[in-house]
Amino acid sequence: MAKKGKAKDVLGVGIIGGGGIARGVHIPGYQALDNARVIAVADPVQASLDAAQNDLGIENTYTDYREMLQRDDIDAISVTTPNFLHAQATIDALNAGKHVLCEKPLAMNAKEGAKMVAAAQKNDRKLMCGYNHRFRPEVQRLKQFADNGGLGNIYYARSQALRRRGIPSWGMFVSKEKNGGGPLIDIGVHILDATMHIMGFPKPIAVSGKTYQMFGKKSDVVGLMGQWDYKNFTVEDFAVAQIRFENDMVLTLESSFCANIAEREIFNFQILGDKGGCTLDPLQINTEQDMTLFDMQPAFLPQGVKSHHAEIASFVDSVLNDKPVFTPGEEALAITRIIDAIYESSAKGREVKL
């Protein structure tokens, strides 16, 4: 078990879930670091274990992650399973004394998420959620600008994670039972987290939302991500919500897998304060000075930053040096509670108090 302080120079890591996000992001992210080593991967599908072993050189593989958790040389775990398996795998890892980086969303619902956060607190282990967009240079610069008072008092934000024709044809993204929802819980959570991060993570007090299923069950819709299983499509393909926070802040959220928009994809927010406003794409700050309106764009931003890799490096540093994680489980749980409330509001046709 990893101890506090600089007791270890290299973090031993295990991976629960050997699918695409593990082999494409998490394992390479750890392997790019000098202070981390992926010791083992666990997955019930042998083909995923073979790919991790043959393509990425992982020597130790397990079909039962509980066996992997018994290893003393593993200090931390990345949970990269489908959403419906996040909670149990994370809780088991925390109870085994491992620190956990769990892919987003934290859980299928807030009830599960609360148990995960409680397990981290009970075992004095770190729980981080994979909201990697916080590590984008654009988001970090806007966060610094907001923290330094550049936006003044923030009162409104609009967050959009919209695809024109982007229903995934792989995985469990179209299954309410396995994924928890559609674009709202898949990509909407990302832009919501990034926006709230810059806003200072205000406390939500009420949510009004509506979800739609307009395209997903049709067979004659263009699939830019391949043909999905329209016969078993049980999630929304569009969601919209208004979230009210303390201090009179309001945020409007829109998320879609399918929508008749001009662009193929929009991932953007607009945040308004009494001293300035900002957008993510393009990164721009809008303000007034000396009776003149200014639109400011950066002349330089770091290029080639892999936000997932930066997220993993941050997690490793937090564990080895006993620092707070950058995307804590408590804030991820707040996001999950909002998502729950949006689905509840849509089902009941009224605002839901938080």
Among 166, 133, 138, CA closest to 265: 166
Q: Which residues pair with 196 in a beta bridge?
A: none
Write the CB contacts of 191 (distance below 8 Å, at least 6 apart in sequence). Answer: 133, 159, 160, 161, 253, 255, 267, 268, 269
CATH fold for domain 11-131+308-323? Rossmann fold (3.40.50)
pTM of the model: 0.95
Residue ranges of domains in the chain = 11-131+308-323, 137-302+336-353
Cα separation, 18 vs 51, whole angstroms:
8
Q: What is the pLDDT along the chain (354 residues), one digit of tens a residue?
A: 444 444 689 999 999 999 999 999 999 999 999 999 999 999 999 999 999 999 999 999 999 999 999 999 999 999 999 999 999 999 999 999 999 999 999 999 999 999 999 999 999 999 999 999 999 999 999 999 999 999 999 999 999 999 999 999 999 999 999 999 999 999 999 999 999 999 999 999 999 999 999 999 999 999 999 999 999 999 999 999 999 999 999 999 999 999 999 999 999 999 999 999 999 999 999 999 999 999 999 999 999 999 999 999 999 999 999 999 999 999 999 999 999 999 999 999 999 999
Cα separation, 167 vs 217, whole angstroms:
11
The number of residues making up the chain comes to 354
The reply to whether CATH 3.40.50.300 applies to domain 137-302+336-353 is no
Burial of 241 (C-beta count, 10 Å sphere; 0-12/13-18/19+): buried
